[in-house]
Amino acid sequence: MKEEFYTQKRWLNWMNKVKDSNFKLTETDEKNSGAVFIYIMDDVVLACLKVIARCEREIFTPEEAIGEIETIRSIVFQENESMGEDADLMLESLKTSLAAVFVSSQRYITGSFDRDSTLEELVAGAVAAEQEEDLDGAFDLLSQVGARVIGGETLPEIGDMPYCMTAELMDGIDAISAAMLGDDSYKDEDGSEDTGEGD
């Protein structure tokens, strides 16, 4: 049986959890902290890292690995029914963050990223590009940062950023960094275990 790293059912389970949370941006109590969106991000990041680990162990070819990342991306970027204005806004923000994860993963697999500039220079370049309304340029630079973080580099302290696309993309790269520092048992899994369908 072909291993599935992320499924439609898994994503829909998460969407049901978002719906059940009745998330509101204005409420600060712990039950409404938006934690479900963090869990979703971590779940998707881990799925991508599992694909990359299989590629590094030559279980997958680079082409197969890129195809698997694209499959995960297509599940995440499908149209969802509205879950309320606030939850929809958070979901759009989450998808922007995950866009950085997907492209960073594909860049890492293909090796198509800048290895010479410092990560600080790439992030600063992305911020400058967004200020000049070059969103594609900002995205391009940050996906290279993400690829290098997947490669084991430590994300530098960036400090607080104003709310912008660059900050949302950096959230995705932060999630990669956190997953890389966490439990790395996913690297050794052979794909035979039941991955479950969301916690």
User: How far from chain centre, in Å, is Cα 40?
Assistant: 9
Q: Give the pLDDT band (50/70/90) at residue 108.
A: very high
Distance CA(56)–CA(62), nearest Å, equals: 9
Question: Once rounded to an integer, what is the mean pLDDT over residues 102-118?
Answer: 96
- Each residue's pLDDT tens digit, 112-170: 999 999 999 999 999 999 999 999 999 999 999 999 999 999 998 877 777 789 999 99
pLDDT at 196 over 50: no
Helices 8-21 and 62-76, axial angle in degrees (round to 10): 30
pLDDT of residue 192: 43
- Each residue's pLDDT tens digit, 62-87: 999 999 999 999 999 999 889 889 99
pLDDT at 100 over 70: yes
Residue in this structure with the two tokens 């084991």, named with its chain if needed: 152
**In terms of DSSP H, where are the helices of 22-154?**
35-56, 62-76, 85-110, 119-131, 135-150
- The residues near 94 (Cβ < 8 Å, ≥ 6 apart) are 37, 40, 41
- The residues near 138 (Cβ < 8 Å, ≥ 6 apart) are 126, 127, 129, 130, 165, 166, 169
pLDDT of residue 162: 74
Counts of helices then strands in the chain (DSSP H, E): 7, 0
Phi-psi region of 27 (alpha: psi -120 to 50; beta: other; left: phi over 0): beta
pLDDT of residue 26: 74
Q: Give the pLDDT band (50/70/90) at residue 52.
A: very high
pLDDT of residue 199: 41
Q: Measured between alpha carbons, how far apart are the two ends of the chain, in Å?
A: 23
Global pTM value: 0.88
